[in-house]
A and B are shown apart, each in its own frame.
Chain A
Amino acid sequence: MIKVYFDSRKCLGCHSCEFACAVEHSESKDPSKAHLEEETPIPRRNVKLVEGICLTVTCRHCEPAPCVEACISGAMEKHEGEVRCNTDKCIGCWMCVMVCPFDAVSPGKIYTIKCDMCPDMENSYACVDACPTGALFAATPEEFAKMSKKKKEIKKVGVPI
C-alpha cells in the first residue's frame, strides 16, 4: 500500500497540487480545458496557511475508516488500504461528511468528493507529480514509520535537520 504524505517544511504554498488534482479529476484531464468544463472540477486537497506554515491535508485513508463504516449505501469501500467512493453507488447522504475527522470528504453536487489515489494514473499521483519541492511524496506506511522514528530520534538529541 502507498500513501501520499506531506512535509510542511518544504511547501511553498504554490497550490500546484490543488490544480493538478482538479485537472486529473476533470472530464478532459487537460489543464487548458478543465476549468472551462460545464462542471468545474473540484480539487481533493486544499493548501492553507496555519500559523504561518502551509498545510495540505487530504484523505488519510484511515484504518479503520469512519467514512467506510458510516456509509449506508456501500459506496465507500476499502481497496487494498485505499478508501474509494464508488460514485455509481453513492447516494449523497453525507453520512461520511458527518464523521470524517480530517474534513477530507466534501459534499459534492450529487456524490461525495474525496481523494481516490488517482486510479487512472499508473503508479503515480497527480499531486505528487505536480509538487515542485517534494513536499508531497508517496511512500509505504512502513517507510513513513521509519522517517517518523528517525525524526523523533533527531529531536531527542537536539540536532536540527
Chain B
Amino acid sequence: MGTLARAFADALGLLWNMEPALVEAVVLTLQVTLIALVIALVIGVPIGAAIGLTRHLPGRWLIVPLIYTGMGLPPVTVGLFTYLVLSNQGPLGGLGWLFTPAGMIVAQTIIAFPLVVGLTMAAVQGVDPNLPVQMLSLGATRRQVATVTLLEARVGVTAAVVAAYGAIISEVGAVMLVGGNIEGETRVLTTAIVLETRKGNFALAMALGIILLTLAFVTNFAFHRLQVHQGVR
C-alpha cells in the first residue's frame, strides 16, 4: 500500500510540474487517437448506415458476421498485420510508415473501423422501418432519407463514436508493435505506462495512467452531454 500511495503522491507532483515527457505523450496520444477516430468515422458511418438501410443486401449473411468479428479483433493481431504490411518487405513498405505516428494511425483506424460500422449499422436498424417510408412520402430523396435516419439514430451513432474512441485511446499492443514506443516520436500514454512500469518508475506510470483516465472521462463526459441533449430534441 505504501508504494501505491507514494506513487500516487509523486504522480500528482509530476502532473503539477507538467513534465515534458508527459506533455509529449499526451499530445501524441490525442493526435493519433483523434485522427484515427475521424478517419474511421468518415468511412465507417456511411458504410454502416448503408448496410443498416439496405434491407435486401446481397451477402449480408457473410458481411454482418465479418463486421461483428472485426468488432472484437485482438489489437495485437491488427498490430502484427499492420507491421507486416508496413515493414520494408511489406506491400506498403515504400511509405516508410513503420515506427511513425502515421503507421500507428493506420493500426488504430483498422481497430476502430469495424466498431464504427457495426454499431452504426445496429443503430440505424433500430430506427422504425416505417420512418424512411414516411420521409419518402414527405418528399425526401434517397440521400435525405439516409441522413434523416442517421440523425434519428444519433444516440446509437454517438455510442459508436464512444466505443471506437475508448478502444483506441486505451490500446497498447498495436501501437507498441507498429510505433515501436520511441521516445518523443511514437511514445503514447499506454506504451509509456508499460515502459515506465517495467523500469520501476511507478510514479511516472501512475501519472500517465491518471492522465489517460482523465482524457477518457472528459471526452466521454462530453459525448454523454451530447447524447442527453440529442435525446430531448
Q: Do A and B bind each other?
A: no
A-side residues, CB < 8 A to B, are none
Q: Which residues of B contact A (CB under 8 A)?
A: none
